[in-house]
Amino acid sequence: METDNLLRTEGVGKLMGRYAVPCIVSLLVGALYNIVDQIFIANASYLGSYGNAANTVVFPLTVIALAIAVMTGDGCCAFVSLCLGRGDTATARKSVGNAVVMISAASVALCALYLAARDQLIALFGGTVNEETFRYSRQYFFWISVGLPFYMFGQAMNPVIRADGSPRFAMVSTLLGAAVNIILDPIFIFAFKWGMTGAAVATVAGQIVTAALSARYLLHMKLVKPARADFRLDRSVCARTLTLGVTSFLSQISLVAAMAAINNMICRYGALDPVFGKAEYAQIPMAVVGIVMKVFQIVISVVVGMAAGCIPIAGYNMGAGEKGRVRSLFSRLLLAEAAVGAVALVVVEVFPAQLVVLFGAANESAYYTAFALHSFRIYLCMIVFACVNKACFIFLQAMGKAAASTALSMVREIVFGVGFALTLPMIWGLDGVLYSMPVSDVLTFGIAAVLIRRTYRELSEDGPLVSADGV
């Protein structure tokens, strides 16, 4: 097949652009769903920082849904690519069929769980910081939960569509969904005055569009066309798919653990602050840190998009035994990720005031702006290392090295991310929450550098390519 052959013969640089750019756009647009909501909410004077804080509270709960979706989708994408590289189309078809069944069942179950435990979950992520934040969180959370099956299906199928050789369709389906959200947000928030409910309904409407387009594509796949029998769950196929996707899951779910720790530390140490301990300002630290995280998410969407776009290329060439092409791809990816991080560092350190204005600073107190500037400059000061670390996680996953990738991701997000978020505030108060990010990224880079060197050595040696997981 033409796409199949190109993965093995076309220049690595061209392939990287062909697959990575649509993936970057898709992930950026996915990130913008929540960020666009937050921008419109922040600039609605009747919502302001209370609405922003509510958005920050609910955001980790959407990340849990995303974690399950990307585990299924990225795992299927990597598995399909490895199978195609070996010429095993039958197993590739089973992986796609099983992924569809798994994500459909998981999304419905998670939706039911969220609706049954709404207030408890909101409290867990700091939504009780004050009464207004809690009320807005409940409104936003309900509709976001209702839309979870559409959101998770669209996110899971996006990498599957890329693996089938259609990165542009994956990009367009996400773009159209985001366009619907962007059009409806100002109508529902400013014209209809629906507040948090309007922001959530606009988001769900966009997610439905993306899910519908993804479902349509499944009926017309190019390289991998699953038959009815492929939708019967196969334990070994499911296990391999989820194993290859577990790094994507952990990178997202551990972010949730870090956000839970951060939100609760903000509530605890914000209450001790002479300014933010006052009821009228209590929501500001949570709103601001949420904004900083969203800006970071934009950068990471570019980083993950580049790396995830390389999964079909790396996976196929791993399966085909093309060491030189895999090594060349890895080099290009690391350089590109470092460049993205450098540009992002300049933006957050030199132009944080311009970023703060986007999120409604004009409607807030001077305390809001001052804390936002301070947060941007500390929290993201080591973003270059964060970008390179992410590239390392995902490329190892693409090579089939799920164990190494998972271990590195766990160390970064759980051991360092959660650990420092809980301990550093004991020393520096609210500033300790901010320092937890750069400290974690620097220490993780020290470990990642060892794995990067080892990967280069392996790709330079003679002999067959066999991953650490036996693929």
Please list the pLDDT of the chain residue by residue as tens digits (471 residues).
555 567 777 888 888 888 888 778 877 776 777 678 888 988 888 888 889 889 889 988 998 999 999 999 989 988 998 888 888 999 999 999 999 999 999 999 999 999 999 999 999 988 888 889 999 999 999 999 999 999 999 999 998 998 888 888 988 998 899 899 999 999 999 999 999 999 999 999 999 999 999 999 999 898 888 999 999 999 999 999 998 888 778 767 777 888 888 888 998 999 899 999 998 889 899 889 988 988 898 898 889 888 888 878 887 887 788 888 889 999 999 999 999 999 999 999 999 999 888 887 677 888 999 999 999 999 999 999 999 998 888 888 777 777 888 788 889 888 998 999 999 999 999 999 999 999 999 999 999 999 999 988 888 876 554 444 443
Helix (H) or strand (E) holding 441: helix 430-460
Residue 121 lies in a domain: yes
Model-wide pTM > 0.85: no
> Distance between CA atoms of 240 and 76, rounded to whole angstroms?
9
Residue 95 lies in a domain: yes
Tokens found for residue 125 = 């992520």
Residue 468 lies in a domain: no
Residue 6 lies in a domain: no
Position 203, amino acid: T
> Distance between CA atoms of 239 and 245, rounded to whole angstroms?
10
Residue 33 lies in a domain: yes
Residue 13 lies in a domain: no
Distances (CA, A) of 440 to 27, 133, 447: 24, 29, 11
Backbone angles phi, psi at 85, to 5 degrees: -60, -30
* Total of domains in the chain: 1
Residue 342 lies in a domain: yes
User: What range defines the domain where residue 88 resides?
Assistant: 20-460
Tokens found for residue 311 = 């999964």
Residue 465 lies in a domain: no
30 contacts 181 by C-beta, under 8 angstroms: no
